[in-house]
Amino acid sequence: MTDFAAIILAAGKGTRMKSNLHKVLHPIAGKSMLLHLLDSFAELQPQRTVVVVGDRREQLDGALKGRDVVSALQDPQYGTAHAALQAKEALAGFTGNILVTFGDVPMVRAATVSKLTDALRCGAKVAVLGFRPTDPLAYGRIIAEADGTVVKMVEYKDASEAERAVNLCNSGLIVAHSDDMWPLLDAVDNNNAQGEYYLPDVATGAIARGDHVEVVECDADEVAGINSRAELAGAEQRWQAERREQAMADGATLKAPDTVFFSHDTVLGRDVTVEPHVVFGPGVTVADGVHIKAYTHLEGATLASGVQVGPFARLRPGTVLEENSFVGNFVEMKNATLGRGAKASHLSYIGDATVGANANIGAGTITCNYDGYFKYPTTIGERAFIGSNSALVAPVTIGADAIVAAGSTVSRDVGAGELRMVRAEQLVKQGWADRFHDTMKKKKAAAKSKK
């Protein structure tokens, strides 16, 4: 759709969110509302995209950095039609269809926008997006004929009883060709109680001049606006429910779907089993046949086929688990690779490390990768065995087939096939503990007698 441009209105203060973060930057599934919209519209390959900003402009400009998007300032703010007009300069020279939408309505699909532009190709001068909520509340109403021709658009407070009985509501989204959009926006007046210029009056103005205005309908959830923390939570809930259904339809098993939380970019293969209370942060890719056990948290991790993880494991960014490797309970990994068939069964931290194929990491093992200033790598060779409660002080290399005895603190490289045992000699003092207990009991008794 090279003849398509998008205007996203995001100039409002979002006071009901009660946040220092701009409303449209609040995340759903780990991605901000604004980026949800931009990524959806990217499927349509818009020639230009303009975000109208106002309050906390610096936050929005920071979020848009590196994207092919420009911002336009609305200051002062005189309503939604006035906001859309602020994009006119940024769209100078553009000829084609223009969508005006809202940054706090993040789930609008590219396919829905295509339906709106299709209505223009079929003869409409303006296309508006309508929905039928369970409870129409005080939404503006769209009065339309059976073929979708809009006869009237009316705000709830101005509607008659018969018009209020109509359940087709106005989402606020509107599309028109640039040749029509700019004159219609310029013609909007502020003769209303609030003294503001309202976007729906674009359609009203088109109807008044005899143009064909058409309504396209969508599901109510797609155009649900987000103005508060509760509405944000509701959007997250709806998104997660849809994603869980998709995961299961694609061949994953979710033991307790309502307890599993996905990120916007989570990738799951077939025959993946996800147990209860698993959280996927951004950047996780899971291959076929992986088993993720309960209470596991993953972020920025790649899991190859046949991997098992958890329960109670934490995989942080940069984690790579190769085929048939195993991470058990209370194991944390960060920026580390666990080779094919390697195991870290429990109670370990593996950071900035490379673990070779079929190596075994004993319980309580840690890689000491940070000296307070810099991070250092640990390399563990194939089939190496690291005994329980060992500390590997990086930078250090453990050779293939080497054994590190339990309880060792290793600060120098271990050669292939070597045994490294780093322990202090055990000291035995016969009767010392008995004498200690006797002395302490007498002290305690003496202290009680003084009270």
Residues with a known catalytic role: 346
Three-class DSSP labels, the chain: CCCEEEEEEECCCCHHHCCCCCHHHCEECCEEHHHHHHHHHHCCCCCEEEEEEECEHHHHHHHHCCCCCEEEECCCCCCHHHHHHCCCCCCCCCCCEEEEEECCCCCCCHHHHHHHHHHHHCCCCEEEEEECCCCCCCCCEEEECCCCEEEEEECHHHCCHHHHCCCCEEEEEEEEEHHHHHHHHHHCCCCCCCCCCCCCHHHHHHHHCCCCEEEEEECHHHHCCCCCHHHHHHHHHHHHHHHHHHHHHCCCEECCHHHCECCCCCEECCCCEECCCCEECCCCEECCCCEECCCCEECCEEECCCCEECCCCEECCCEEECCCCEEEECCEEECCEECCCCEEEECCEEECEEECCCCEECCCCEEECECCCCECCEEECCCCEECCCCEEECCEEECCCCEECCCCEECCCECCCCEECCCCCCCCCCCHHHHHHHHHHHHHHHHHHHC
